[in-house]
Amino acid sequence: MAAFDGETDLSHDRAFGLMINTSVTLFWRTSILDQTTEWLHGHGYQVTRLDASGWTTDEAMHRDMAAALGFPDYFGRNLDALNDCMRDVVSHEYGWSAEAAGLALVFTNYETFASHCPRSAQIVLDIMADHSRIASLFGQRLMCLVQSNDPQIRFQPVGAVSVDWNDAEQRDANRRPA
């Protein structure tokens, strides 16, 4: 897939909207996340969901990530190995189809991982941001959508870019129960 076309009106392209400022975007309401992933899927993106509610250890995250992206058996199950394997994902060796418009990695219930393994949770998002930037250099679209049941969750900047809330929930007032 080529880079976004500057000649086309991109105001209704959700992928462009998600990636214009950061490749890692937070979601609180699952309904907004579901609408977003439905749009992405309908526009040819591969959407790969990972439920982080059971990620109370790094090992659990590595196990699920390896299974979801088809990492090779020699995957070292540590953050350095995750970084290395994401380089192979970007080059389509595994993890997603080269025919897809892009890859949306969706982490749900991420607050569980962030509360049990805060350093690793931050580094995982940083790895995703770095590889999204690398993918874009090759005309590939890789984004990470992070759903949290904690509407106040915050992360340090990733890939030298802040992790922002989606447009519909950017204001704190929009992340309160109805």
Average pLDDT of the segment spanning 135-164: 91
Give the SS3 label for residue 143. Answer: strand
pLDDT tens profile 88-144: 999 999 999 999 999 999 999 999 999 999 999 999 999 999 999 999 988 899 999
Q: Is residue 7 part of a domain?
A: no
How many separate domains does the chain show? 1
pLDDT the model gives residue 5: 63
Instruction: Band the pLDDT of 11: cuts 50, 70, 90.
Output: confident
Question: pLDDT for 19-72, tens place per residue?
Answer: 888 899 999 999 999 999 999 999 999 999 999 999 999 999 999 999 999 999
Place of tokens 């049941």: 149
Q: Give the 3-state secondary structure of residue 115.
A: helix
Number of H helices, E strands in the chain: 6, 5
Residue 178 lies in a domain: no
Kindly state whether residue 52 falls inside one of the protein's structural domains.
Answer: yes
Nearest to 23 by CA among 110, 97, 102: 102
Residue 15 falls inside a structural domain: no
Residue 150 forms part of a structural domain: yes
Q: Does residue 154 lie within any of the structural domains?
A: yes
Sequence-distant (6+) residues with CB within 8 A of 139 are 1, 2, 3
Q: Is residue 19 part of a domain?
A: no
Q: Is the dihedral of CA 161, 165, 167, 171 positive or negative?
A: negative
pLDDT band, residue 148 (cuts 50/70/90)? very high
Range of the domain at 65: 24-168
Does a structural domain hold residue 4?
no
> What CATH number corresponds to the domain at position 143?
3.30.370.10
